[in-house]
Amino acid sequence: MELTTAKAEIASLGEAKIQSPLGGISGTAEPQSFVDDKAQILSVIQTAEILRAHASNETIRSLELAGARKKVYFDPSKLRCALVTCGGLCPGLNDIIRAIVLELYYHYGVRNIYGIRYGLEGFIPEYGHDWLDLTPSMVSGILDMGGSILGSSRGAQDIEAIVDCLERLNIGILFMIGGDGTLKAAHKITAAVAERKLKISVIGIPKTIDNDIYMVSRSFGFDTAVEVSTQAIIGAHNEARGYPNGIGLIKLMGRHSGFIAATASLAQQDVNFVLIPEVDFDLKGDCGLLAALENRLAERGHAVIVAAEGAGQKFFADAGLETDASGNIRLKDIGLYLKEQIKAYFDAKGVKTTLKYIDPSYMIRSLPANANDSVFCGFLGRDAVHAGIAGKTDMIIGHWNNHFVHIPMKLSVGQRKQVNPRGKLWTTVLESTGQGSLRNSCSF
């Protein structure tokens, strides 16, 4: 069987002609393991998907493998690089910064590395944010710090003004660490750079604690978020068991995708109801959440509910839409809404309950990365440097089919990865909780 594959082409500033300075690994005689641009990772690996694509004559996309190249585009001794973190905080931001700086400085010999303060605002002179000189001594101790040493901000900034700043300071590589909005801005910056015929590489490192970046199987910070969320579930379960008709209610991150809520509930299987944006549920009615909760309390005397922040937004349809500085819709607080509705429901029935509500969201976002995320961030940061030095641009570093790969920004931006309601993750959640559909149709 022959497969029709098409490489997801990565844009380049030009031919890489300079011999890479990575002759040996860490000063040893061991040769550096270089990656050829021809090394590809298929976007699908399941036999069923491959057979289906073959039967319908579909083309299977392949992604360029990340890693150091034998020839590089930029002369490291003359190169200036800039890093910026944008959007909400996320565990692992400092790990990414540290990995990029140390790889540039020690392995490629780049001495001019600048940190842009407070997101895209840092490029705009009117804000008056000073840039930071990023050196190994400055970043050596930041792994145990939460947040970002560069700070962050939300909201769009003038793309031409950003490129003016890059050109004025002779920046060769811009590393942009952020979510979908940041990657959209990065794509626009790349287009503006190309229009001016400048030789500036723009490399994105996708950041979303919700793990919802399209074409990226795992994003940094997600592992930490799940680990800490399980602690909240343990606390909520202990509180619920401590009182007659005790209810623990936890709201977790997940604006449009319920990966954290679903995964944390499987990691700590004391959860009885999981609510995510991808799966509709009813509150009232014979098969709605309130009736199911009442049955659970009657049978077991306590219950634990985990709700992703984007779940149940249909209940606020009449409240009107508001947006934040980045243009994102401001979600209504499903946690507080459920708290009020549950209390009112049982009060009306004369049933005494004790409900404890936990929202650990901002605490989780600002924590340092756990061990798994820290290692993962190191790979992302170093591969971002390898790509930028080789002259690649308009791309992100992602993880796909257990490999780090180069993904064209246009393939990822503007789309979102979500939990498949009929996929393995969600069906396992249903098996673990036994919650059923929570729809008044009483069907899955």
- List active site positions: 210
| Distance separating alpha carbons of residues 399 and 46, to the nearest angstrom | 17
Using alpha carbons, select from 63, 71, 70, 177 the residue that is nearest to residue 406. Answer: 63
Beta strand residue intervals within 117-181, DSSP E: 132-133, 173-178
| Distance separating alpha carbons of residues 303 and 250, to the nearest angstrom | 11
Q: SS3 for 163?
A: helix
Q: SS3 for 328?
A: coil
Q: State which H helix or E strand residue 65 sits in.
A: strand 60-65
| Distance separating alpha carbons of residues 279 and 287, to the nearest angstrom | 15
259 in Cβ contact with 416 (< 8 Å): no
| Distance separating alpha carbons of residues 10 and 7, to the nearest angstrom | 9
Q: Report the Cα 204 to chain-centroid distance in Å.
A: 12
* Residue 224: both structure tokens together: 């930490």
Q: What are φ and ψ of residue 61, in 5° steps?
A: -75, 140
97 in Cβ contact with 83 (< 8 Å): yes
Q: Which residue is it, tokens 């509709």?
A: 280
The stretches of 43-106 forming alpha helices (DSSP H) are 47-55, 93-102
| Distance separating alpha carbons of residues 436 and 431, to the nearest angstrom | 9
Q: SS3 for 285?
A: coil
| Distance separating alpha carbons of residues 403 and 154, to the nearest angstrom | 31
From the number of C-beta atoms within 10 Å of its C-beta (0-12, 13-18, 19+), residue 155 rates as: middle
The residues with which 263 forms a beta bridge, in sequence order, are: none
| Distance separating alpha carbons of residues 335 and 199, to the nearest angstrom | 48
Sign of the CA dihedral running 318, 324, 327, 331: negative
| Distance separating alpha carbons of residues 244 and 151, to the nearest angstrom | 45
* Residue 34: both structure tokens together: 């270089």
